[in-house]
């Protein structure tokens, strides 16, 4: 597919369990449902039936302290391999062990079930901090999710290095790092300035020799970007900068037009 080269893939990320830390990849299959194995699992709250999400850190304050990875790379057309989940205290569990639900619930401090099957009408709770420019302020709302998935909005989330650099310039005190935004594909965009992927909306992106995506929406940001993780501190200024300067959007969502293999270093071309 012809088109101008916008950059190249500099990082690939998969998050096997929604709202847990994920795994960085060198290559992966992209299917109609996004990166193979991405957000395939989630925790569902036993009391409410809602999907557990760090979007409501008041109810789920420790989700970012869990890390999930597959025990071996998933293969297209095969059953997903088991998960290896590292708990906040360093204990490592396998998704197939008999007491996995009890172990996760104990670590969470709330009864939840790890599942591959989304609820019939999947919803999650979102806490909106008191930041000007957000749709709501200082409240919790119920948010719907795409049917039969654990995605917030779309199957592939793309972020450019120029957007990260733009935000760093706008709020130098903040630590703007890719992991705050949890993208699947990070595109290095040398020579570009500003929120580069905004110009990709309603356009097609070809990645490498096989994958074709259709960019359909900006990625609205939430309180998750402000939460501490590892050595990153809590910082509401991260979300405030996005709200003030880009309508609280950072990155874009895309649908998969043509599946295939994507690798770090692949060229990214954007066409009309």
Element (H, E) at 207: strand 204-207
pLDDT score for 109? 97
Other CB atoms within 10 A of residue 131 CB: 19
Q: Distance of CA 138 to CAs 56, 128, 223, 235, 249, Å? A: 12, 5, 11, 16, 19
- What share of the chain has pLDDT > 90, as a percent? 98
**Residue 212 contacts residue 257 (beta carbons within 8 Å):** yes
In degrees and rounded to multiples of 5, residue 253 shows phi and psi of: -105, 150
Locate tokens 């850190």: which residue?
57
* Distance between CA atoms of residues 244 and 257, nearest Å: 33
Per CATH, which fold does 4-39+117-271 belong to? M1 Pyruvate Kinase; Domain 3 (2.40.33)
- ∠ CA 72-254-117, nearest 5°, is 50
Threshold 0.95, pTM exceeds? yes
In degrees and rounded to multiples of 5, residue 240 shows phi and psi of: -60, -40
pLDDT score for 2? 67
- ∠ CA 60-134-18, nearest 5°, is 30
pLDDT score for 260? 98
* Distance between CA atoms of residues 60 and 57, nearest Å: 5
In degrees and rounded to multiples of 5, residue 7 shows phi and psi of: 165, -155
Q: Two tokens at 35? A: 């990166």
* Distance between CA atoms of residues 25 and 252, nearest Å: 20
**Residue 39 contacts residue 152 (beta carbons within 8 Å):** no
pLDDT score for 272? 79
Alpha helices by DSSP H, 71-200? 100-108, 161-170
**Residue 10 contacts residue 241 (beta carbons within 8 Å):** no
**Residue 124 contacts residue 220 (beta carbons within 8 Å):** no
Q: Two tokens at 215? A: 């960019």
pLDDT score for 4? 82
**Residue 95 contacts residue 108 (beta carbons within 8 Å):** no
Query: What are the residue ranges in the chain where pLDDT is below 50?
Result: none
């Amino acid at each position: 597919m012809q088109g101008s080269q916008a950059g190249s893939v500099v990082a690939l990320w998969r998050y096997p369990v929604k709202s847990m830390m994920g795994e960085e990849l060198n290559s992966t299959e992209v299917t109609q449902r996004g990166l193979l194995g991405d957000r395939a699992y989630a925790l569902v709250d036993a009391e409410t039936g809602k999907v557990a999400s760090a979007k409501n850190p008041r109810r789920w304050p420790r989700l970012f302290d869990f890390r999930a990875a597959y025990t071996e790379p998933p293969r297209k057309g095969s059953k997903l391999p088991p998960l290896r989940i590292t708990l906040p205290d360093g204990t490592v569990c396998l998704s197939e062990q008999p007491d996995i639900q009890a172990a996760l619930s104990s670590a969470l401090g709330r009864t939840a079930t790890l599942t591959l099957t989304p609820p019939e009408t999947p919803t999650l709770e979102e806490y909106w901090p008191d930041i000007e420019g957000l749709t709501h302020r200082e409240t919790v709302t119920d948010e719907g999710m795409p049917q039969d998935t654990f995605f917030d909005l779309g199957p592939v989330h793309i972020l450019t290095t120029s957007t990260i650099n733009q935000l760093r310039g706008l709020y130098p005190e903040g630590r703007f790092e890719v992991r705050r935004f949890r993208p699947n594909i990070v595109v290095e965009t040398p020579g570009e300035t500003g929120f580069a992927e905004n110009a990709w909306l309603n356009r097609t992106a070809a990645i490498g020799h096989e994958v074709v995506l259709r960019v359909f929406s900006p990625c609205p940001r939430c309180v998750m970007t402000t939460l501490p993780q590892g050595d990153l501190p809590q910082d509401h200024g991260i979300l405030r900068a996005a709200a003030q300067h880009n309508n609280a959007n950072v990155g874009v969502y895309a649908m998969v037009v043509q599946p295939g293999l994507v690798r770090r270093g692949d060229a990214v071309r954007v066409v009309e």
